[in-house]
Structure 1
Amino acid sequence: MRKLILSIAVTAAAIASIAPAQARDSKMMMSLEKAMAANDAQSRLGGDVKFYFGKQATPKMLEQLGTDKTSQKTNSFGKSPETACNWAFLSAMLRLQERARELGANAVVNIVSNYKNVEMSSETEFECHDGAMMTGVALKADFVKVKP
């Protein structure tokens, strides 16, 4: 009898391990203003590269230097969705800033959310996907030189 129970338990465990996992992936629209105010984002991003979201008006563009995208994630365990989203957002912004500097750009324009390559443009919000273990923000943008 003991062998039968053990055999059933092993079989059940094997079946459970191959069944598809149901992971949480909550789409959230988050405030750009609040994200830029969190985690010392303003000072960490500095002022040498300017950022323009969606269709925000920009200074006169002098040169287009490229387009790129980034997808940044953070551990969401023990963090509120807002906290995790703001951390992932700052990571994505720092990556855009790093790429702008590599290209010699002084502005990042047309910044849009780009989760799973689906663009969402806004001047006031970004898209964040919060899960039980990870939270992610994906952005796409153009790198340009603008008139100072």
Structure 2
Amino acid sequence: MKFSKVITVSAVALLVAACAPRDTTHHYSIQEALNSAEAKEVLNPNIKLYFGKPAPGKVLRKGITTNPKTNAANKSDDAACRWAFLSAVKNFQDRAVREGATKVGNLVSYYKKNEFKSTTQYECHAGHLMAGVALKGDIVK
């Protein structure tokens, strides 16, 4: 009788832990993401990117943000985060094209308005079902 009670309590505890929300912070390589096969398919090679530093030229729009999410179910955090990052970068490149610009500068991670500035890494937050990358940057001509 005691053994079955222990098993039941353990099973319930595992179920609760599995259903608990997750928000894991990761820092991944910008260069690895930009060199990926997915990046070559979706990114615009004509729009230069400057991470953690200003782009030379005239700033047309300052402090623009984007915060795409992606489905993380049945994906590794690495794969989901890479796709969310590439989506964020593509959003900036598309905006630059619309504004007649050729560069995006001062790109920094901006999760929940907390800045993570790096020239080599981006920040991603992954959960059980979703992963997201928030970026802030400038559109430069």
TM-score, length basis structure 1 = 0.77
Q: Which amino acid aligns with 2:28?
A: M
Which residue, 35, 44, 61 being the options, matches 1:66? 61
What is the rounded CA distance, in whole Å, between the counterparts of 1:77 and 1:40 in structure 2? 18
SS of equivalent residue, structure 1 residue 93:
helix
Q: Tell me which residue corresponds to 1:124.
A: 120
**Equivalent residues, number:** 122
What is the rounded CA distance, in whole Å, between the counterparts of 2:47 and 2:40 in structure 1? 11
Q: How far off its partner does 1:103 sit?
A: 1.1
Q: How far off its partner does 1:144 sit?
A: 0.7
SS of equivalent residue, structure 2 residue 133:
strand
Q: Which amino acid aligns with 1:127?
A: E
Please say if 1:109 is aligned against 2:101. no
What is the rounded CA distance, in whole Å, between the counterparts of 2:112 and 2:84 in structure 1? 15
Q: Tell me which residue corresponds to 1:54.
A: 52
Q: Conserved in 1, the CA contact under 8 Å of 2:68 and 2:132?
A: yes
Structure showing greater Rg: 1
Q: Tell me which residue corresponds to 1:37.
A: 35
What is the rounded CA distance, in whole Å, between the counterparts of 2:83 and 2:90 in structure 1? 11
Q: How far off its partner does 1:43 sit?
A: 4.6
Can you give the 5+ residue segments of structure 2 that lack an aligned partner in the other structure? 1-18
SS of equivalent residue, structure 1 residue 78:
coil
Q: Conserved in 1, the CA contact under 8 Å of 2:60 and 2:140?
A: yes
SS of equivalent residue, structure 1 residue 110:
strand
Alignment RMSD: 1.5
Q: How far off its partner does 1:137 sit?
A: 0.3
Q: Tell me which residue corresponds to 2:71.
A: 75
Can you give the 5+ residue segments of structure 1 that lack an aligned partner in the other structure? 1-20
Q: Tell me which residue corresponds to 2:13.
A: none
In the TM superposition, structure 1's runs of 4+ consecutive aligned residues that sit over 6 Å from their partners are none
Q: Conserved in 2, the CA contact under 8 Å of 1:39 and 1:87?
A: no
TM-score, length basis structure 2 = 0.81
What is the rounded CA distance, in whole Å, between the counterparts of 2:113 and 2:44 in structure 1? 28
Q: Conserved in 1, the CA contact under 8 Å of 2:44 and 2:93?
A: no
